[in-house]
């Protein structure tokens, strides 16, 4: 029998990125999963796959699962509210007090369950996520995410300075010891949930803590996620905190906490990344999590994504809830395009706005690369797919590519029917 586990064919209106500039579409096409690996998308089903079960989603869109490269699970309650401040005041006023509540495991369980439920039923199939500094609550979050079936990196946050007392680790040693306890507790526990070292950002971590995390990353081959050059006051503060640094990225570099090509880090925002930061990120194979929605909500600025792409940097999209409004990746695609247009109009007219093709690529293949061969329906990629009905769209074009664009501009009529990760069905809409 051909292919035993997770082997089947989806039939419907297929769309996926071929490369940064091109989306391939097939109306009434077939996309094949063999043991959870995509065998490609076809106009007519190749003979060798004829014995596989065909699941017919006639009239619905079938696209690769989306990748959210940066989100804060404990902030979920705050998304869409409390964005009347800029970054540093917003953290102090709303976010630190909220995250402090996660010392209470009952509170953590309830709100992490809400986050996990929405992740499961949304467009996202893979994500990189911040927890809080609390080890036990972070383990709980990992348990719940593992249950959803999505693949994720999850970090226990490190922070030992410049926060409210209730959300500050007592010392460098305590922070590092808790991180080791966390890693030990989850060793071998999950199949699709991976730990990632998560120093909150330079202002939250003393020099010794950053250095210690850099060493831990080397010792265990662990990846790192953090924030970089998000806000003008933040960038200025980092220069004061690490006076010997030549840029914010260099501050991470000085502590060996910027990652390397084989163990790449994710840096969120990069709104104010200059020539030097671009060089450093290129050298270390850093993935930029572009958080356009968050950058607008906190009036942080607009990241020069066209420039990053021209330079050959690796870029994906992050919802960055709760500075971002929603986990909805279709919305993130739209805001990414809109932000790039404002950058072009208001900041630098030599940097062309992003096209729909490019923004869709960033949300799928761009972030997907962080997870390996992920983010498209080419042969050999992980079979991550979302089936979306747009049948309620009142003014619906015939063209598949236009229908895909249209649901990003108006996601109210995009209904997820089912979702697959590594060929496993993890969500199926039940008619009510």
Find out whether the peptide bond into 322 is cis, omega within 30 degrees of 0. yes
- 37, β-bridge pairs: 34, 382
* Residue closer to ligand GUN (CB basis): 320 or 405: 320
Residue nearest to Fe ion (CB): 320
Which run of H or of E encompasses 404? Answer: helix 400-409
**If contact means CB under 5 to 8 A according to the sort of partner, which of Fe ion, ligand GUN, none does residue 374 touch?**
none
* Residue closer to ligand GUN (CB basis): 234 or 384: 234
Shortest gap between Cβ of 69 and ligand GUN (angstroms)?
A: 13
Tell me, by CB under 6 A, how many residues bind ligand GUN. Answer: 11
| Residues that bind Fe ion in the complex, under the rule CB under 5 A | 268, 320
Residue ranges of alpha helices (H) inside 91-229 are 96-100, 105-121, 135-148, 172-186, 207-220
Which run of H or of E encompasses 29? Answer: strand 22-34
* Residue closer to ligand GUN (CB basis): 12 or 74: 74
Report the distance separating Cα 19 and Cα 11, nearest Å: 23
Choose among 72, 70, 68, 147: nearest CA to 102.
72
Shortest gap between Cβ of 108 and Fe ion (angstroms)?
A: 19
Shortest gap between Cβ of 65 and Fe ion (angstroms)?
A: 21
Near ligand GUN by CB under 6 A: residue from 137, 186, 323, 333 = 323
Q: Considering only 87-95, 271-279, 328-336, 403-411, which stretch makes contact with ligand GUN by CB under 6 A?
A: 87-95
Residues 214-253 that bind ligand GUN (CB under 6 A): 227, 230
Contact at 8 Å (CB) between 98 and 167? no
Shortest gap between Cβ of 70 and Fe ion (angstroms)?
A: 6
Q: CA dihedral in degrees (229, 153, 85, 163; nearest 10)?
A: -90
Q: CA dihedral in degrees (130, 165, 89, 93; nearest 10)?
A: 90
Does 72 bind ligand GUN (CB under 6 A)? Our answer is: yes
* Residue closer to ligand GUN (CB basis): 63 or 129: 129
Chain-centre distance for alpha carbon 121: 16
Shortest gap between Cβ of 206 and ligand GUN (angstroms)?
A: 15
- 29, β-bridge pairs: 12
Shortest gap between Cβ of 72 and Fe ion (angstroms)?
A: 6
* Residue closer to Fe ion (CB basis): 7 or 79: 79
Enter the tokens of residue 284: 């270390």
Shortest gap between Cβ of 266 and Fe ion (angstroms)?
A: 10
Read off φ and ψ for residue 79, nearest 5 degrees: -70, 140
Residues 32-61 that bind ligand GUN (CB under 6 A): none
Enter the tokens of residue 424: 């496993």
Instruction: State the residues that interact with ligand GUN by CB under 6 A.
Output: 72, 87, 91, 95, 200-201, 227, 230, 294, 320, 323
């Amino acid at each position: 029998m051909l292919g035993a586990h997770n082997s089947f064919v989806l039939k419907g209106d297929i769309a996926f990125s071929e490369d940064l500039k091109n989306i391939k579409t097939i109306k009434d096409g077939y996309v094949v999963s063999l043991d959870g690996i995509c065998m490609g998308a076809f106009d007519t089903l190749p003979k060798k796959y004829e014995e596989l079960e065909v699941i017919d989603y006639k009239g619905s869109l079938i696209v690769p699962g989306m990748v959210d490269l940066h989100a804060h699970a404990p902030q979920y309650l705050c998304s869409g509210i409390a964005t009347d401040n800029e970054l540093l005041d917003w953290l102090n006023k709303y976010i630190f007090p909220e995250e402090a509540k996660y010392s209470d495991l009952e509170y953590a369980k309830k709100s992490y369950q809400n986050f996990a439920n929405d992740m499961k039923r949304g467009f996202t199939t893979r994500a990189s996520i911040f927890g809080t500094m609390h080890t036990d609550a972070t383990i709980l979050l990992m348990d719940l995410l593992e249950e959803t079936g999505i693949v994720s990196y999850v970090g226990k946050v490190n922070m030992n300075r410049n926060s409210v007392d209730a959300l500050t680790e007592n010392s460098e040693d305590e922070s590092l010891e808790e991180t080791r306890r966390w890693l030990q507790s989850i060793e071998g526990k999950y199949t699709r949930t991976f730990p990632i070292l998560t120093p909150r950002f330079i202002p939250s971590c003393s020099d010794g803590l950053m250095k210690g995390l850099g060493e831990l990353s080397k010792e265990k081959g662990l990846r790192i996620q953090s924030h970089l050059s998000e806000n003008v006051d933040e960038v200025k503060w980092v220069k004061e905190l690490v006076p010997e640094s030549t840029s914010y990225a260099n501050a991470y570099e000085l502590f060996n906490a910027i990652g390397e090509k084989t163990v790449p880090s994710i840096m969120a925002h990069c709104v104010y990344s200059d020539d030097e930061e671009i060089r450093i990120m290129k050298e270390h194979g850093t993935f930029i999590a572009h958080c356009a929605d968050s950058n607008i909500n906190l009036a942080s600025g607009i990241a020069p994504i066209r420039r990053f792409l021209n330079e050959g940097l690796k870029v994906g999209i992050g919802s960055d809830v709760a500075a971002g409004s929603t986990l909805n990746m279709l919305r993130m695609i739209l805001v990414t395009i809109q932000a790039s247009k404002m950058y072009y109009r208001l900041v630098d007219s030599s940097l062309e706005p992003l096209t729909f093709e490019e923004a869709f690529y960033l949300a799928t293949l761009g972030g997907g690369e962080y997870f390996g061969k992920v983010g498209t329906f080419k042969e050999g990629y992980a079979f991550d797919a979302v089936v979306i009905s747009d049948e309620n769209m009142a003014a619906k074009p015939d063209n598949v590519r236009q229908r895909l664009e249209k649901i990003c501009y108006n996601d109210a009529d995009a209904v997820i029917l089912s979702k697959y990760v590594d060929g496993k069905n993890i969500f199926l809409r039940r008619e009510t």
